[in-house]
Amino acid sequence: MFKKTEFDLFKKYCQINSVSSFENNVCKQLIQDYKKLGLELIYDNIGNIFALKKSKNPHAFKVLIDGHMDEVGFIVRRILKNGLINCQPIGGISLNSVSSQRFLLTNKEGKAFVGCVDILSIKDDSKIYDLNFDFGFKDEQDAQNNNIKMGDMVSFIGETVLINNKERLMSKAIDDRYGIVLGLEILKYFKDVDLDFDLYVGGSVQEEVGLRGAKVSPNHIQPDLVIVLDCSPSRETIQDDGQLGKGVLIRYHDASMIAKSKLLSFQEEVLKKHHIKYQFFKALGGTNAGAYHTSLEGINTFTHCICARNLHSANTIIDSGDYQCAKKGLIKILLSLNHDKIASLIQQ
């Protein structure tokens, strides 16, 4: 069951609209929450934001925990003469996830307009970029009078709600506000705990369009070990892989990274030692781990993911037990790390 504090955090962050390149909306809230914890803030020019919990060890290694701030959505590509809006998809979105859903168009001044996909624009051979959206504008001039311009953000509308006696949570943008929320909970847990390493926790930008933020942050922080928090698609309805309620994902292979067996063994040993449920998972897509482990001279990286149904939609669903396993597991992993342990994990 989701605790009230957990649900409140998910609701606060999931209901922020931050399609890739519009992450400043999430970043502003993160800055407020990080400052409440009295932590040093680390920025870079692309828009990544990290909070630093400094170790007393003068020779401390750097451990970075990354969750991406952006969500999938659309941007305005063209205004049609009849007032409909043709949009460019941002991130991987299927046609199945947009029909009969509501969307929010936000102009540069912050004014928002509710709308939906024009159903007549969906044909048997339609592609996601063929879709036209109806936000109620009477014609092209009406849209222009409302300061609608190319590149304006169009985001999913999806209420954050608890379902099945608070055992599961449904919302838009759980990918990857899961990582943002868990990162915040980790910082709160370790607020008054001395660690043998410098801990960086935060949010990166533009993961959904090519892991772009994660290609920049290593150059600035130069971490020794990276743990990436993200959601992976449940495929339990089509194959026995990635099941809700079966625990943390040990993501051993995906399109952007094959994790080192030494890191996966460490993750599994900690989870097994503390009786935390986990499942092995092979993914078709990738995460920021793919950018981190190929940056600089190659950073030792592994993921700490959970699976979700209906990923990249207005109605993504995660399981409370999976989230509790992820939170407890990450806490135990960090408590298991000291200078010598990190040195043994990152050595060749």
With beta carbons less than 8 A apart as the criterion, state whether 76 and 149 touch.
yes
Q: Which of 177, 182, 175, 206 is nearest to 312 (CA)?
A: 175
- DSSP β-bridge partners for residue 321: none
40 a catalytic residue: no
What's the CA gap between 304 and 329, in Å, rounded? 9
With beta carbons less than 8 A apart as the criterion, state whether 250 and 324 touch.
no
Q: Of residues 6, 23, 185, 207, which has the active-site annotation?
A: 207
**What are the DSSP calls for 127-189, one per residue?**
-GGG-EEE-S-SSHHHHHHTT--TT-EEEE----EEETTTTEEEES-HHHHHHHHHHHHHHHH
What's the CA gap between 336 and 196, in Å, rounded? 10
Provide the H-helix boundaries in the chain.
4-14, 24-36, 140-145, 174-189, 217-221, 261-273, 289-292, 320-335, 339-346
Residue 146 to residues 79, 90, 114, 239, Cα–Cα distance (Å): 12, 23, 13, 47
Tokens 């599994």 belong to residue: 268
Catalytically annotated residues: 207
